[in-house]
Amino acid sequence: MGGDSLWVNGSSWTRCGSVVLRALRGSVVLGALRGSVMLWALRGSVVLWARCGSRCGAWDARPPWGAPPRPMGAARRAPWAVARARFFSRGPNKASLDAIEGAAFFVALDEEAHGAAPRREGCMDAYAKSLLHGRCYDRWFDKSFTLVVYPNGKLGANAEHSWADAPVIGHLWEFMLGTDRFQLGYTEDGHCKGEPNTTLPPPQRLQWDIPEECCAAIERSYLLARALAEDVDFHVFHFSDFGKGLIKRCRTSPDAFIQISLQLAHFR
């Protein structure tokens, strides 16, 4: 059984529970999420996405569009509005879309590892682009935010911009890291403290009925989103000469400082 699967769990999460995804290749336990600082605080349903089947190593190795319509949210809004009214306003498609849109946030389990590797040139650039747009069909851009979990234990987020500026997610991320490190903690062997809640019901697979005409609309949105993603130049470098503390002592906003720096670099 190849392709993609979407699973939803609508239960309230306990403080020290774990997110369990019963994928086609077995159970995947996201112990690092703790069930979790974020999950515990939001107490909403969570939509989980997993790639099932062969490893995706190229742009064209994408799932068939009998899978969920994720690329529609990555391109222009008008085609998505038309497709939504025509193909996702009734039946199993509406029920599945309602489950996704009613969830607190989206979780994507990626197969390709990313993260900082001092001896691997461009690793942070690839990491940033993965979180920014992924492969254009493995993020749900209409959600408040998407947690992206990598197989090497790294975790990142993609936030939708209309409901909040970046500092909101930044503060949430700092709160999560601080609570994880200084309040919840880990056992001596490196595991999360607490016991998983084994009474939670298993996730339910969402059902979709995607006709050929809808597949064509999804394909058009995907190709547009892919072209936009391939046109993104993103370079990340580590700067440690000074931080926001020095900027604030100069009575300047760190955000404004970076914005001016970007404009100056572009001008030069």
Q: Which helix (H) or strand (E) holds 125?
A: helix 123-132
- Sign of torsion, CA 63 201 73 160? negative
- In DSSP terms, 23 is beta-bridged to 26
Q: Decide if 171 is catalytic.
A: no
Name the DSSP class of 180. I
Q: Which helix (H) or strand (E) holds 169?
A: helix 166-179
- Is 77 in contact with 70 (CB distance < 8 Å)? no
Q: Is 113 helix (H, G, I), strand (E, B) or coil?
A: coil
Residue 239 CB partners (closer than 8 Å, separation 6+) = none
The residue type at 39: L
Q: How far apart are CA 48 and CA 110, in angstroms?
A: 11
Q: State how far the alpha carbon of 265 is from the alpha carbons of 193, 237, 258, in Å.
A: 46, 15, 10
From the candidates 161, 235, 238, 266, give the one annotated as an active-site residue.
Answer: 161
Only one residue has tokens 């995706």, namely: 56
Catalytic residues: 161
